[in-house]
């Protein structure tokens, strides 16, 4: 069973490289641990996930606004946030081969122990290792100019809390969202894009009146879960939430619930929600001297808001979405090519599919290619498209199934006379004749209903 599941991850990794979703980072130089490049289709997929998130968490809510902060902030930010002190991983070292591993990753420790066969593994005592990435501003490496690549995106939302509130005339409760890169000097390797040194985080800080935090925490938890199932189309049975025990809470958290996905390598975290209380604003007030309190104009009460923080690992979600959508079948497209082999279909939701429509003239002949290219040009106004005129039509359909393209449009010899094209559906393989002048509208409607 375990072997079969490992195999699924390998299959997805292989598909990702072969079809331009994800490449190993800096591969021509032998790569770099925990580093990946997103190819043309991976870039589209990541953007589509981010855009769906933004739509649900910012665009569709009156109480939310967005923000885009820098990766390098004043290093004092990270002192106030506690990251300089507390953003650490407990590491242990194998006394035999000096491999360093996270002391809190039981499965990885056991896996390593197994490589020793007969000899008992001995680990050193855990030592804390700060995972903030350091850098230097200017040209001199000196403590005075030491800075950090941000360890989370949250801090801009705290430092700019008042600026956003006043410029946008917001009252509690309201939130600020951001999508961007965060960095972690990660030493554990493996599991593809699940664990990387730099990753895209989508998160929001929702400022609330103390006392209303528990109720709003639960509301955001439901909203967050809805995103996975209704918006991303992840199968419900592959998602679960895990309440973190008190002794495992991050240094700023009163309550944390993580969301896990059933990866081939086991259940693991793709998102979380934390009650950060007034921890961050309080520390920023103390260290900066700025007044980041909220004044309730109804009764002149002044207080430091509490913060509910739903957070999403976009790369991990992308991996979950790919695994969830991966399906194999035996020659489902029939005898077209006579070679019956395993066919891959990426059953991504239509909104996530990197390519929405492929335009395929039945042959390369100019009488078909020319009008097909004209159709392509028109469709490109609305959709990410591909154009493919090589190989048999069956083979071209399968190329599109493999990358999750919901619709293929075929221009054939009949099309010249009846001005209709064949629209083929990825999931049902149904083929429908649609008038060329109604094609764009037809596809827009089809793509809206998922
Ligand atoms: Zn060892």
| Same domain flag for 244 and 135 | yes
Share of the chain above pLDDT 70, in %: 96
Which residues, 6+ apart, have CB-to-CB distance to 202 below 8 Å? 50, 53, 54, 57, 177, 178, 179, 311, 312, 314
Which range of 109-113, 292-296, 377-381 scores highest in mean pLDDT? It is: 377-381
Residue 431 lies in a domain: yes
Question: At 158, is the secondary structure helix, strand, or coil?
Answer: helix
Binning the chain into helix, strand and coil, the percentages to the nearest 5 are: 35, 30, 35
pLDDT of residue 5: 53
On whether 270 is known to bind a ligand per the annotation, the reply is yes
On whether 198 is known to bind a ligand per the annotation, the reply is yes
CATH at residue 374: 3.40.50.800
| Same domain flag for 75 and 223 | yes
| Same domain flag for 168 and 315 | yes
pLDDT of residue 221: 97
Q: Tell me the CA–centroid distance for residue 288 and ligand 1, in Å.
A: 46
On whether 196 is known to bind a ligand per the annotation, the reply is yes
Q: Tell me the CA–centroid distance for residue 55 and ligand 1, in Å.
A: 47
Work out how many domains the chain is built from and give that number.
2
Helix axes 439-448, 366-379, angle to 10 degrees: 50
DSSP string, 70-115: -SB--THHHHHTTHHHH-EEEEEEBTTT--EEETT-HHHHHHHHHT
| Same domain flag for 248 and 369 | no
On whether 425 is known to bind a ligand per the annotation, the reply is no
| Same domain flag for 293 and 421 | no
Q: What is the pLDDT of residues 385-440, one digit of tens each?
A: 999 999 999 999 999 999 999 999 999 999 999 999 999 999 999 999 999 999 99
Q: Tell me the CA–centroid distance for residue 93 and ligand 1, in Å.
A: 8
Q: What is the pLDDT of residues 411-425, one digit of tens each?
A: 999 999 999 999 999
* Residues 102, 108, 113, 116, CA torsion sign: negative
| Same domain flag for 265 and 391 | no
**CA–CA distance, 73 with 183 (Å, rounded to integer):** 13
| Same domain flag for 32 and 72 | yes
Q: Tell me the CA–centroid distance for residue 95 and ligand 1, in Å.
A: 7
User: 112: pLDDT confidence band, cut at 50, 70 and 90?
Assistant: confident
CATH at residue 37: 3.30.930.10
Q: What is the pLDDT of residues 89-104, one digit of tens each?
A: 888 888 888 888 888 8
On whether 195 is known to bind a ligand per the annotation, the reply is yes
Q: What is the pLDDT of residues 225-236, one digit of tens each?
A: 999 999 999 999
Question: At 324, is the secondary structure helix, strand, or coil?
Answer: helix
**CA–CA distance, 245 with 252 (Å, rounded to integer):** 14
pLDDT of residue 102: 84
* Residues 389, 395, 400, 403, CA torsion sign: negative
Residue of 82 and 65 predicted with greater confidence: 65
User: CB–CB of 72/149 below 8 Å?
Assistant: yes
Which residues, 6+ apart, have CB-to-CB distance to 14 below 8 Å? none
Q: What is the pLDDT of residues 203-226, one digit of tens each?
A: 999 999 999 999 999 999 999 999
On whether 316 is known to bind a ligand per the annotation, the reply is yes
Mean pLDDT for the stretch of residues 280-300: 93
pLDDT of residue 1: 37
Residue 333 lies in a domain: no
On whether 313 is known to bind a ligand per the annotation, the reply is yes
pLDDT of residue 115: 86
| Same domain flag for 314 and 354 | no
**CA–CA distance, 196 with 199 (Å, rounded to integer):** 6
Residue of 252 and 169 predicted with greater confidence: 169
pLDDT at 167 over 80: yes
Q: Tell me the CA–centroid distance for residue 109 and ligand 1, in Å.
A: 9
Mean pLDDT for the stretch of residues 145-159: 94
Phi first, then psi: what are they for 239, rounded to 5°? -125, 140
| Same domain flag for 296 and 212 | yes
Question: At 34, is the secondary structure helix, strand, or coil?
Answer: coil
Mean pLDDT for the stretch of residues 49-68: 98
To the nearest whole number, what is the mean pLDDT of the chain? Answer: 92
DSSP H helical ranges for 141-268:
154-159, 161-167, 213-226
| Same domain flag for 292 and 417 | no
**CA–CA distance, 70 with 364 (Å, rounded to integer):** 49
Residue 123 lies in a domain: no
pLDDT of residue 108: 83
pLDDT at 24 over 90: yes
pLDDT at 138 over 60: yes
Q: Tell me the CA–centroid distance for residue 32 and ligand 1, in Å.
A: 22
pLDDT at 282 over 90: yes
Residue 143 lies in a domain: yes
pLDDT of residue 2: 43
| Same domain flag for 305 and 420 | no
Q: Tell me the CA–centroid distance for residue 90 and ligand 1, in Å.
A: 17
Residue 114 lies in a domain: no
**CA–CA distance, 226 with 224 (Å, rounded to integer):** 5
| Same domain flag for 312 and 371 | no
Name the burial class of residue 426, with classes exposed (0-12), middle (13-18) and buried (19+) by CB atoms within 10 angstroms of its CB: buried
Q: Tell me the CA–centroid distance for residue 113 and ligand 1, in Å.
A: 7
Domain enclosing residue 195, as ranges: 2-87+131-322
Comparing CA positions, the residue from 41, 65, 24 lying closest to residue 161 is: 65
Q: Tell me the CA–centroid distance for residue 308 and ligand 1, in Å.
A: 41
On whether 314 is known to bind a ligand per the annotation, the reply is yes
Q: Which domain-ending residue is among 290, 322, 354?
A: 322
Residue 51 lies in a domain: yes
Name the burial class of residue 188, with classes exposed (0-12), middle (13-18) and buried (19+) by CB atoms within 10 angstroms of its CB: middle
Which residues is 102 bridged to in the sheet? 91
Q: What is the pLDDT of residues 318-357, one digit of tens each?
A: 999 999 999 998 866 555 555 557 899 999 999 999 999 9
pLDDT of residue 450: 55
Q: Tell me the CA–centroid distance for residue 233 and ligand 1, in Å.
A: 41
Residue 279 lies in a domain: yes
Residue 55 lies in a domain: yes
DSSP H helical ranges for 380-450:
393-403, 413-418, 439-448
* Residues 122, 124, 128, 130, CA torsion sign: negative
Mean pLDDT for the stretch of residues 159-188: 94
On whether 199 is known to bind a ligand per the annotation, the reply is yes
pLDDT at 47 over 80: yes
Cα dihedral: 35, 26, 385, 45 (round 10): 0
């Amino acid at each position: 069973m375990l072997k079969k599941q490992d195999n699924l991850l390998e299959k997805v990794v292989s598909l990702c490289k072969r079809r331009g979703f994800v490449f190993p980072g800096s591969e021509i130089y032998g790569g770099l641990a925990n580093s990946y490049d997103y190819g043309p289709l991976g870039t589209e997929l990541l953007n589509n996930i981010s855009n769906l998130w933004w739509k649900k968490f910012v665009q569709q809510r009156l109480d939310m606004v967005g923000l885009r902060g820098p990766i390098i902030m004043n290093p004092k930010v990270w002192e106030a946030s506690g990251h300089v002190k507390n953003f650490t991983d407990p590491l242990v070292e194998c006394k035999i081969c000096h491999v360093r591993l996270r002391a809190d990753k039981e499965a990885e420790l056991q896996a390593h122990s197994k490589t020793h066969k007969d000899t008992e593994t001995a680990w050193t005592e855990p030592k804390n290792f700060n995972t903030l990435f350091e850098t230097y501003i200017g040209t001199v490496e000196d403590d005075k100019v030491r800075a950090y690549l941000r360890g989370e995106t949250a801090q801009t939302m705290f430092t700019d809390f008042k600026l956003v509130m006043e410029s946008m005339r917001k009252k509690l409760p309201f939130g600020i969202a951001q999508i961007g890169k965060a960095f972690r000097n990660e030493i554990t390797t493996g599991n593809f894009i699940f664990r990387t040194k730099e990753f895209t985080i989508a998160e929001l800080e929702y400022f609330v009146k103390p006392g209303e935090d528990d109720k709003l925490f639960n509301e955001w938890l439901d909203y967050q879960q809805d995103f996975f199932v209704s918006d991303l189309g992840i199968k419900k049975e592959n998602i679960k939430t895990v309440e973190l025990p008190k002794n495992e809470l991050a240094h700023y958290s009163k309550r944390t619930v993580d969301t896990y996905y059933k990866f081939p390598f086991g259940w693991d975290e793709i998102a979380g929600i934390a009650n950060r209380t007034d921890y961050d604003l309080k520390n920023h007030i103390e260290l900066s001297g700025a007044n980041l309190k909220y004044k309730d104009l109804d009764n002149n009460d002044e207080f430091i808001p509490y913060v509910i923080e739903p957070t999403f690992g976009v790369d991990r979600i992308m991996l979950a979405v790919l695994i969830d959508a991966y399906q194999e079948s035996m020659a489902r497209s029939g005898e077209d090519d006579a070679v019956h082999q395993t066919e891959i279909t990426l059953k991504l939701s239509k909104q996530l599919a990197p390519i929405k429509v492929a335009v395929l003239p039945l042959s390369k002949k100019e009488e078909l290619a020319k009008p097909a290219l004209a159709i392509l040009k028109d469709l490109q106004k609305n959709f990410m498209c591909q154009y493919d005129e090589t190989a048999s039509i069956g083979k071209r359909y399968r190329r599109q199934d493999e990358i999750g393209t919901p619709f293929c449009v075929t221009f054939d010899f009949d099309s010249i006379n009846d001005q209709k094209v064949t629209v083929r559906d990825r999931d049902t393989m149904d083929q429908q004749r649609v008038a060329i002048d109604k094609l764009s509208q037809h596809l827009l409607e089809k793509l809206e209903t998922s």
